[in-house]
Amino acid sequence: MSNLSHVDEHNRPSMVDVGDKIATSREARAQSIVVLPAAVLAVLDGDEINTRKGPVFATAIIAGVMAAKKTHELIPFCHPLGLENCKITISIGGEKGNEAIIECACRVHHKTGVEMEALTGATVAALTIYDMCKALSHDIVIAETRLLSKTGGKQDFQHVG
């Protein structure tokens, strides 16, 4: 028998049965980092990049929230959740000041966690930045996506580092 939660006793893919679990408050935060080349940074105006497609970060925030709400439609064994909150922030930072740092925080009162929703929201926001800026440069790199923290459920998690 596998230790993986999405594999049944016959070693076949299976959705986790959360029917007997207690609904609790669950939160998760995820981060994606997009490394922006000089050609993209050259059009940065304050805290926004404006292209012919529109305001990049504002659009990425909307896309990320929309994606987080649809995570169960994208990832086969995710449960449909009515998110109570999904907040995405985007800032410019990093050691060289050339990274768009995307954070997605999701919250729900449910029987299952929201890690995948937070990760999906951050990832789709990163992909949206790439899509809207690719006319300026294809040297954009989506460098990393990771879970920063989660609370609720069996155990809490906090990324250290």
> What is the predicted pLDDT for the residue at 135?
95
pTM of the full predicted structure?
0.91
Q: What's the average model confidence in pLDDT over 32-55?
A: 94
- State residue 39 phi and psi, 5-degree precision: -60, -30
How sure is the predictor about 13, in pLDDT bands with cuts at 50, 70 and 90? confident
Residue 152, both tokens: 């609720």
DSSP 58-72: HHHHHHHHHHHHTHH
CB 115 within 8 A of CB 108: no
> For residue 142, what are the contacts with CB-CB under 8 A and spacing of at least 6?
32, 33, 34, 35, 123, 126, 127, 130
DSSP conformational letter for 76: T
| Separation between Cα atoms, residue 31 and residue 35, nearest integer Å | 13
> What is the predicted pLDDT for the residue at 22?
86
How sure is the predictor about 1, in pLDDT bands with cuts at 50, 70 and 90? very low
pLDDT above 50 for 87: yes
CA nearest to 57, candidates 65, 48, 66, 45 = 48
How sure is the predictor about 12, in pLDDT bands with cuts at 50, 70 and 90? confident
Q: What's the average model confidence in pLDDT over 27-32?
A: 98
| Separation between Cα atoms, residue 129 and residue 36, nearest integer Å | 10
| Separation between Cα atoms, residue 103 and residue 157, nearest integer Å | 16
Q: What residues are annotated to the active site?
A: 131
Q: Could you read off the pLDDT of 98-155 as tens digits, one per residue? A: 999 999 999 999 988 899 999 999 999 999 999 999 999 999 999 999 999 999 988 9
Ordered strands of the 44-45 beta sheet: 44-45, 48-51, 54-55
Lowest mean pLDDT among 5-9, 23-27, 41-45: 5-9
Q: What's the average model confidence in pLDDT over 70-86?
A: 94
| Separation between Cα atoms, residue 41 and residue 9, nearest integer Å | 52
Q: Could you read off the pLDDT of 49-77 as tens digits, one per residue? A: 999 899 999 999 999 999 999 999 999 88
CA nearest to 103, candidates 35, 29, 49 = 29
Class of domain 24-151: alpha beta
| Separation between Cα atoms, residue 100 and residue 61, nearest integer Å | 12
pLDDT above 50 for 35: yes
Residue 43, both tokens: 């059009």
> What is the predicted pLDDT for the residue at 4?
63
